[in-house]
Amino acid sequence: MSVKIRLQRKGRNKMPYYYIVVADSRAPRDGKFIERIGTYNPNTNPATIDLDGDKALSWLGNGAQPTDTCRAILSYKGVMFRKHLDRGVKKGAFSAEEAEKKFGQWLEEKANKIDKRISGLKEAVSADMRLRLQRESEVAHKRAQDILAKKAAAEAPAATEEAEGGEEATEETSTENE
């Protein structure tokens, strides 16, 4: 029986999220599975991944083959690197303490990278919002100026008509008086 670590699609139309499952390769994509080892939500930025690394590592050790996407997810979370380090320990290339130290350093670097990316995204969003607000206020100010100009233009002819009407009325009264 060939065992795969793969994604099982859940969610609604155009808003998927996935379970990371261990399943027989002959089972349908969204069908029967052996064990659920995590979730993957690509709708967030960066994608949200919740994975039980120990279960994934044990299944990899038992011969489960990850699909391409799951391999990328496992690499992102450090499971593939830990498998690589465990293989080095088994071969005697280095000790288990060194492997743990290397894995800890890798985790710190990865966490720093993710934090930088998240802060960069937040900064970009806030800068975009500031720019949108500035443009919106400029448009609102321009609209207000246009409205005031139209009102002034509408009032100016009315005032001149009243002034002309007043002059004509005084002329008529003066001609009537004569």
Residue position matching structure tokens 């139309």: 13
Instruction: Give the Cβ contact number of residue 22 at 10 Å.
Output: 22
Phi/psi class of residue 99: alpha, beta or left (left: φ > 0; alpha: ψ in -120 to 50)? Answer: alpha
Q: What is the pLDDT of residue 165?
A: 63
Q: What is the pTM of this model?
A: 0.68
Average pLDDT, the chain: 87
pLDDT band with cut points at 50, 70 and 90 for residue 171: low
Place of tokens 């008086």: 177
CB 24 within 8 A of CB 5: no
Task: Give 58-115 pLDDT, tens digit per residue.
Answer: 999 999 999 999 999 999 999 999 999 999 999 988 888 999 999 999 999 999 998 9
Q: pLDDT band at 51, cuts 50/70/90?
A: very high
